[in-house]
Structure 1
Amino acid sequence: MFKQASSLSLVIPVHNEMGNLMLLHRRIRDVMSSMNDRYEVIYVDDGSTDGSFSVLEQLAATDLHVKVVGLSRNFGQTAALAAGVAHSRGEVLILLDADLQNDPADIPRLLVKLEEGYDLVSGWRRKRQGDGWLRCLLSRLANFLAARAAGIPIHDLGCTLKVYRRAVFAHVPLYGEMHRFLAAYAALAGARIAEVEVRHHPRYAGRSHYGLDRTLRVLLDLLLLKFYRSFATRPQQLLGLPGLLALALGVAFLPLVLILVLLAGRSRVASWSGPLFLGVLGACCFGLLSLQLGVLAEMLMRTYYESQNKQPYVVRCLVSGTERCECW
C-alpha cells in the first residue's frame, strides 16, 4: 500500500471535454477519498468552447478539493500543464488526461512505485484501446526513437498519466510541446524513472484532438531531444562541422560549376546539368541552413523564457469553491 506522507496535486488539462468531466471527477474522487484527504484536483481549461468551463465551475462549487484555472485561449497541452503545476501546492504531482482514456484507478499503483525511491513513474499503455493500427504503429515507432534519443528504457513516453515528485519540475521547464517528452527531459536532468503498466480505455465522449500530422511534429521534437542530450553544452560541434563540410564542398565544386557554365553553349547536356547541379547543391545548403536556424531559434526561445521567468500562457480567471478571481 502507498503510505501517503505527501500532499497530492492532480493536474488535468481540459479542452472541449464537457461530456467526460462529471464521470471523470466521480472516478477521481472515489480513488482519492479512499486513500486520504490530502489532495487537490486542478483542472486547467485550455480555451474550451463547448461548455467545459461551466461544468468545471460546478465541480469547484461542490467540491473544495477542486481548483479551476481558466486560460484566455487555447495555448496547447504543455502550456496547460505548466499552468496547472504553477497553481498547485502538492509535493507529489499526478498528471492525466480528461478524456477518460487514462484510468484514475491506476493512480495508487503509480504512487506505490514512486515510494520505492523514484522521482517519476510513467504509465505504459501496453494495450491501447480506441486507436487505429496506423496510429498505434506510429506511436510505437516514436516511442522507440524517443527512448533511444533520451537513453532511457521507457516504452510509452506519450502517456499523460504520470506521477512526479515536485522537485522534478524545478529542472524541467514547460513550454512548446514538451509534454510528449517530459519523462525524457526529466531523465536528462537526472531524475530516477520507472514505468508501470496502466489501463487504456476507448474515448468515452467527444473526439480526439490529435491527428496523424502530430507524427511530423514528434520527429522534429526528437531532433531537439537528441540535440539537448548530446550537444546542449557544445552546439558548435553540431553546427560547425556540417558548416565546414558544406563550405569545403562548395569550394571544391566551384571550378566544376564554372566549367559547366563555360561549356553551356557547346553542349546540350552541359546546358541543363549545370543549373541542375547548382539547384541540388543549393537545396542541400538551404536544408542544412534551415535545420541550423531551427536549433538556434529553439535555443533563443528557451533563453528568452528562462532568463526572464516568463510563462507561455495567460490565466483568465481562477475558481476555488464559490469564489472566482478574474485575472484578466
Structure 2
Amino acid sequence: MKEISRISFVIPCYRSEKTIGGVINEIESVMKGLSKYSYEIICVNDGSPDNTGVVLEELSSRDEHIVFCELARNFGQDGALMAGFHLVSGDLIICLDDDGQNPAEYIPDFINKIDEGYDLVFAKYRKRKFNWIKNAGSAFNRWCSIHLTGTPKDIYINSYFAARRYVIEEVRKTRNPAPYVLGQVSTVTRRMANIDVEHRKREVGHSNYSMSRMIKLWADNLFAFSIIPIQISRWIGVVLTFFGFIFLIYTIIMYFFDPTVPLGWSSLMSVMLIFGGIILLAIGIMGEYIGRIYMLGNKNPQFVVREVMAKNREITISREDEE
C-alpha cells in the first residue's frame, strides 16, 4: 500500500462562523508537529444562512492550506462531504465536524492506525456529549451498520474518521441523490478499526440536527444499502396471513359449536385497522425505494458547487466518474 505523504481534511460547514476558525487553527497546530506530511483543509459551506461563507473566504485568501468550497444551497452533511471528496488530493482523508467537538490532537493516532494496515479508522468516543436526539440517532445508525451493511459488531461508526484514498474514490463513484457517507465507506472495506477519543462538549451554539434532519438521516441509512425493509414487510405479511387463516378456522369452528357467540364488530374493526396499517406500511416502504429510483433516474444532484477558492492555486472539482 502506498505510503502516506499528503493528508486531506474534509469539513462540512453549516452555521459555524464562530467555531470553524478554531477548528482550522487546531488542525494546523497539530500538523506543524507532523512536518513530514503535506496537507490541505477542504471546508465545504453547505448553504449556511450565517456568515460562515464570509469567514471561510477570508481564511482561504490568506492561508494556502485552506480550500473553500461554496455549495449553491443546503444539501446536508453527506452532500457536503461528497463535494469535498471530489476535491481531495491527499493519500489519506480525515473527516471531522465544524463545531469543535472533534479534538484534532488525535490526528497522529489516526495516521498510526492506518499505518498498521487498516483502510478505515473511526473515532470511538469514551463518553458521548450529544443531546438525546443525536444519541438515539447514533444508536439506530449503529444497528443499521451492523445488520444492513455488515459492519463488524466491535466497530463503532462515527463522523470523525480517516480513510485511505481508494476508499473515498470508490465512495464518490455513487450517484445516489441521497448519499449516506458512513454507510458507503463501511461497504468498501472490512479493514477497519477504532481509536478512543475524548468527545468535547459543544461550547458555541447548538446541534444542527433537528428531529426532522435525524429522521431523514435514518431513512437514508435504512434504505440506501439494503432491501431488508422490504423483506421484513413481506415476512410480516406472511405471518399475519397465517394467523388470519387460523383465526378464520377458529371462527368457523366456534360458529358450529356455539352459535350464540355474538359477532364482534369492535374486534373486526381492530383487525381491519391493524391489517390496513400494515398494508400502508408495506406500500410506504416500497414507495421509499421507488422514490429513490425516480430521483436517481431524474439525476437529482448530490451537490452543486457554486465556487471553489484557494490561495495561489487553481482547484477543479474531479468528476471523472461521470460520463
**Matches of 2:155 and 2:64, distance apart in 1:** 36
1:29 aligns to what?
28
Correspondence for 1:315 among 302, 305, 312 = 305
- Alpha carbons 2:134, 2:214 under 8 Å: kept: no
Q: CA separation of 1:69/1:215 partners in 2, compared to 1, >3 Å: closer, same or farther?
A: closer
Structure 2 stretches of 5 or more lacking a match?
253-259, 318-323
CA RMSD after TM alignment: 3.7
For residue 208 of structure 1, report the CA deviation from its aligned partner.
1.3
For residue 136 of structure 1, report the CA deviation from its aligned partner.
7.4
2:281 aligns to what?
287
Q: Whose helix fraction is larger, Structure 1's or Structure 2's?
A: 1
1:243-270 superposed Cα distances (whole Å, 9 cap, x missing partner): 5666677788789999xxxxxxx99854
Q: How high is the sequence identity, in percent, across the aligned residues?
A: 27
The equivalences for 1:47-196 within 5 A come to 47-129=47-129, 131-132=130-131, 134-135=132-133, 138=136, 141-142=139-140, 144-146=142-144, 148-149=146-147, 150-154=150-154, 156-157=156-157, 159-172=158-171, 173=174, 176=178, 178-179=180-181, 182=182, 184-196=183-195
Q: Which amino acid aligns with 2:17?
A: M
- Alpha carbons 2:119, 2:189 under 8 Å: kept: no
**Matches of 1:33 and 1:189, distance apart in 2:** 32
Say which SS state the counterpart of residue 61 (structure 1) adopts: helix
For residue 137 of structure 1, report the CA deviation from its aligned partner.
5.6
- Alpha carbons 1:43, 1:66 under 8 Å: kept: yes
Q: Which amino acid aligns with 2:122?
A: S
Say which SS state the counterpart of residue 210 (structure 1) adopts: coil
1:108-164 superposed Cα distances (whole Å, 9 cap, x missing partner): 1111100111110111111234x35x457636633652453234134542x321110
**Matches of 1:83 and 1:10, distance apart in 2:** 13
**Matches of 1:272 and 1:147, distance apart in 2:** 42
- Alpha carbons 1:66, 1:320 under 8 Å: kept: yes
Structure-2-length-normalised TM-score: 0.78
Q: CA separation of 1:74/1:276 partners in 2, compared to 1, >3 Å: closer, same or farther?
A: same
Say which SS state the counterpart of residue 286 (structure 2) adopts: helix
Structure 1 stretches of 5 or more lacking a match?
259-265
Higher relative contact order (CA 8 A, sep 6+): 2
